[in-house]
Structure 1
Amino acid sequence: MDDLVPYEVSYSERVREELRALIARAKNAGLVDEVLSALKGIEKRLRLYPQFGQPLWNLSVEPAQMWMGVVAPLVIQYVLDESRRQVMVVHPITPLRNSGL
């Protein structure tokens, strides 16, 4: 397990902006601890085991695939390129329905 090479994870600027807004909404809803915990869990999974979600479809740039994962109360869609060990988050992270966010 010591030889495990983490995946490189990158976030688009749009995703970063939306994350700031999501955290602000979470503060107003009294859910900031839950959201921050979920974000930490997402980051850890994306770096170590991004296959935690479900593949949605293959992209034209093979072998990249679009994936979706859930760490309550958040949903994330991301591009996984196994051959380069890269994860790209290009869609804003969104709350689950009825999560209070």
Structure 2
Amino acid sequence: MAYIGHRCGCGHMDAQHKAGAAKTACQARAGLSCGGGCRKSVKSVLAPTFDVKARPIARVVTPGERIGGNNGFVTCGCDNCQALYEQLTAQ
């Protein structure tokens, strides 16, 4: 599955900067906590995901949907993310 979200100033997706999320390796090296020194872009982007054989997974998660159960996160449901989802999934 792929999800729609926003890139932070550091280049990571917003889901990696949610409160309580584990630090990424580059954040730990830089001594940053979630969101520290990063600015979330208002532009929505598609974050593709791949299976174990490096093939792209086509399903796009609906904005505002929870990924990963109770230990996961809720994808952004802002108007920009909704508009991109509609554009990508239009028949």
TM-score (norm 2): 0.24
Higher helix share: 1
TM-score (norm 1): 0.22
Higher strand share: 1
